[in-house]
């Protein structure tokens, strides 16, 4: 079971570690920062993921009702998984806002040892949200420290070392852990089982992304034609983060072209200048597909081999590039490796034998 130690000076790892995990005192939390005007703070502003929003509202309202009777929030721990850029961090901030509590934000790679978890949890107050992004990347010892904290709201502390070591269990205020990951399968089963609710975030529809683009253009004080907003949505790979990024870049192209409105022509010019095609594939996506098709005869080929041939990191290729290509039906994941489908060949206008359609 996870623990952290106190040395003979009496200074614990809680005191020595973990300050990098939390925002500075008085600083806005990144998940709900006013410095990011595009990030929704209420469910009413949040577009998409309708079924998930309905469930979360039920859980939150029930928790608030119980808190009026018991005096404390008891929202269960939540796990969100799915491709990056779909709103997992935003949802955690909205949940904190709806409950009227604080949120502590950190990420799995920032947590190096069990003491970091202890430092994080020692600062929570009753009902607070603790958000851990990329939770699958936490070290095993840190994850084990979370088990009793999530289940019993206790921290196991070891005081001293060797034969004089003593175990002490410290009570924590009730909190809600919200975990986010792009790779739910890498979360240890004991940790995954302690979440009371888990949900996969789905890619957004073009209509949903169009609404997001329209809303965010207003927040940026940028005029945009409806057809241009639809064009951005259509080429955003079902991902709000990409749609927002394209909107910012098209704002630049609008100024470059000396226009006062992002028209359809401005949108097409800018998006094509960025190397994004009709269905949202960029240069990296095309490189991924052409690597399988040209260098490995369409596959099957292992993901490590593909990443090496591309000169990229496996995690980037597997977590960022591949999921959308799989959802488009361009790539199959098989036991022997990745395979480019006939749809992928048709997208490039060629057949598997090298001919043209």
357 within domain boundaries: no
Q: 3-state class of 355 per DSSP?
A: coil
Residues contacting 74, CB < 8 A, separation 6+: 63, 66, 67, 174
Task: Specify the CATH number for the domain of residue 167.
Answer: 3.40.50.300
17 secondary structure, DSSP code: S
Q: 3-state class of 57 per DSSP?
A: helix
- pLDDT exceeds 70 at position 19: no
- Say if residue 26 is in the same domain as residue 175: yes
- Both tokens of 240, joined, read 């709000």
- Say if residue 27 is in the same domain as residue 79: yes
Rounded to 5°, the CA angle 178-187-337 comes to: 130
- pLDDT exceeds 90 at position 32: no
The closest of 159, 169, 156, 167 to 5, measured between CA atoms, is 159
State the pLDDT at residue 14: 35
Greatest Cα pair distance, the chain, in angstroms, is: 76
- pLDDT exceeds 50 at position 31: no
- Say if residue 16 is in the same domain as residue 108: yes
Query: According to the 3-state scheme, what is the secondary structure of 99-144?
Result: HCCCEEEEEHHHCCCHHHHHHHHCCCCCCCEEEEECHHHCCHHHHH
Instruction: Round to whole Å and give the CA distance between 21 and 331.
Output: 38
167 secondary structure, DSSP code: E
Instruction: Round to whole Å and give the CA distance between 39 and 31.
Output: 8
Ramachandran angles phi, psi of 90, nearest 5°: -60, -45
pLDDT band at 158 (very low <50, low <70, confident <90, very high): low
pLDDT tens digits, one per residue of 271-323: 999 999 988 999 999 999 999 999 999 989 999 999 999 998 998 898 889 99
278 within domain boundaries: no
List the single range of 8-17, 99-108, 144-153, 227-236 with lowest mean pLDDT: 8-17
Assess contact for 104 and 128: CB atoms under 8 A.
yes
Catalytic positions, written as ranges: 88-89, 133, 182, 241
State the pLDDT at residue 1: 44
266 within domain boundaries: yes
State the pLDDT at residue 115: 80
- Say if residue 44 is in the same domain as residue 179: yes
pLDDT band at 257 (very low <50, low <70, confident <90, very high): very high
State the pLDDT at residue 141: 85
157 within domain boundaries: yes
176 within domain boundaries: yes
356 within domain boundaries: no
234 within domain boundaries: yes
pLDDT tens digits, one per residue of 178-199: 999 998 888 999 999 999 999 9
State the pLDDT at residue 245: 94
Which of 170, 200, 230 terminates a domain? The answer is 200
- Say if residue 297 is in the same domain as residue 261: no
pLDDT tens digits, one per residue of 60-86: 999 988 887 776 678 999 999 999 999
Ramachandran angles phi, psi of 166, nearest 5°: -125, 145
| Percent over 90 (pLDDT), the chain | 62
Task: Specify the CATH number for the domain of residue 296.
Answer: 1.10.10.10
Q: Quote the mean pLDDT of the chain.
A: 85
State the pLDDT at residue 332: 94
Which of 184, 200, 216 terminates a domain? The answer is 200
> Strand 176-181 and strand 78-81: pairing?
parallel
- Say if residue 241 is in the same domain as residue 161: no
- Say if residue 45 is in the same domain as residue 180: yes
- Say if residue 160 is in the same domain as residue 216: no
180 within domain boundaries: yes
Range of the domain at 227: 206-273
- Say if residue 89 is in the same domain as residue 113: yes
Task: Specify the CATH number for the domain of residue 247.
Answer: 1.10.8.60
State the pLDDT at residue 338: 95
- Say if residue 69 is in the same domain as residue 134: yes
- Say if residue 128 is in the same domain as residue 240: no
- Say if residue 115 is in the same domain as residue 187: yes
Domain count, the chain: 3
Which of 273, 301, 323 terminates a domain? The answer is 273
Residues contacting 38, CB < 8 A, separation 6+: 216, 219, 244
């Amino acid at each position: 079971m996870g623990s952290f130690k106190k040395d003979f000076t009496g200074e614990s790892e809680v005191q020595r570690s973990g300050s990098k995990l939390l925002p500075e005192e008085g600083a806005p939390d990144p998940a709900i920062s006013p410095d990011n005007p595009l990030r929704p703070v209420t469910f009413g502003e949040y577009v998409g993921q309708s079924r998930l929003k309905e469930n979360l509202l039920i859980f939150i309202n029930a928790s608030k009702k119980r808190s009026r009777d018991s005096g404390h929030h008891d929202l269960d721990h939540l796990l969100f998984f799915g491709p990056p850029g779909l709103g997992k961090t935003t949802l955690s901030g909205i949940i904190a806002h709806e409950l009227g509590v604080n949120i502590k934000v950190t990420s799995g790679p920032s947590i190096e040892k069990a003491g970091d978890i202890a430092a994080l949890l020692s600062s929570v107050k009753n009902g607070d949200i603790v958000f851990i992004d990329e939770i699958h990347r936490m070290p095993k010892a840190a994850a084990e420290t979370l088990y009793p904290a999530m289940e019993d709201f206790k921290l196991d502390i070891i005081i001293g070392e060797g034969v004089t070591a003593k175990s002490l269990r410290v009570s924590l205020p009730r909190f809600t852990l919200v975990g986010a990951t792009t790779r739910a399968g890498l979360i240890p089963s004991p940790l995954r089982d302690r979440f009371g609710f888990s949900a996969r975030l789905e890619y957004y529809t073009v209509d949903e992304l169009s609404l997001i683009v329209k809303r965010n253009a207003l927040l940026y004080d940028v005029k945009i034609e409806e057809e241009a907003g639809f064009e951005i949505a259509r080429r955003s790979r079902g991902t709000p983060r990409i749609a927002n990024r394209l909107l910012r870049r098209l704002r630049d192209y609008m100024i470059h072209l000396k226009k006062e409105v992002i028209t359809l022509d401005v949108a097409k010019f800018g998006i094509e200048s960025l190397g994004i095609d009709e269905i949202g594939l960029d240069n990296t996506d095309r490189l991924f597909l052409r690597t399988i098709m040209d260098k490995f005869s369409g596959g099957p080929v292992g993901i490590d081999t593909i990443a090496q041939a591309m000169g990229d990191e496996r995690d980037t290729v597997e977590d960022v590039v591949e999921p959308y290509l799989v959802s488009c039906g361009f790539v199959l994941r098989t036991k022997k490796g990745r395979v480019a489908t006939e749809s992928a060949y048709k997208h490039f206008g060629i057949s598997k034998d090298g001919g043209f359609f």
